[in-house]
Amino acid sequence: MRSSPSIVPADRLDRDVYLVLEDFGARAGCAWRETDEEDTDLETIVRDLISGQYTYPVRIVAFNAIEGWSRDATSEVATALAQLAIDEALEITPALDAFIAANASETRLQLVLPLR
């Protein structure tokens, strides 16, 4: 018997979600950034960090509500950012550089310095 594709829609929350805790300064403090549901995957978070959408990231968490787990993904994301900056010779902000230096698991990474 042939099986046919399911007509039941997949649960849109059955995926890994990444959220960024950002420091807004002494007066405002830290807060989890509001973001669209579609923009919470790892690739989008990394792209948004590189493009300056987050000014002072502090912590990044990942979770999957359907699977019932959560974890600190700060080191994973910082290492991915550092590698992307090296591979593509990207100029990064001083705040993002500090985030990478404080959290990347690979301490041997050498970031490209911007030439001005």
Residue 12 pLDDT more than 50? yes
What does pTM read for this prediction? 0.77
Distance CA(90)–CA(78), nearest Å, equals 14
| The pLDDT value given to residue 8 | 45
pLDDT, mean over the chain: 85
* 37-60: average pLDDT: 93
Residue 89 pLDDT more than 70? yes
Strands of the sheet containing 17-23, edge to edge, are 30-32, 17-23, 57-64, 69-72
Locate the domains of the chain by residue range: 17-103
| The pLDDT value given to residue 105 | 85
Q: Are 48 and 84 in contact (CB under 8 A)?
A: no
Q: Are 75 and 50 in contact (CB under 8 A)?
A: no
pLDDT, tens digit, for every residue of 94-104? 999 999 999 99
Beta-strand (E) ranges in 49-99?
A: 57-64, 69-72
Least confident of 2-16, 66-80, 92-106: 2-16
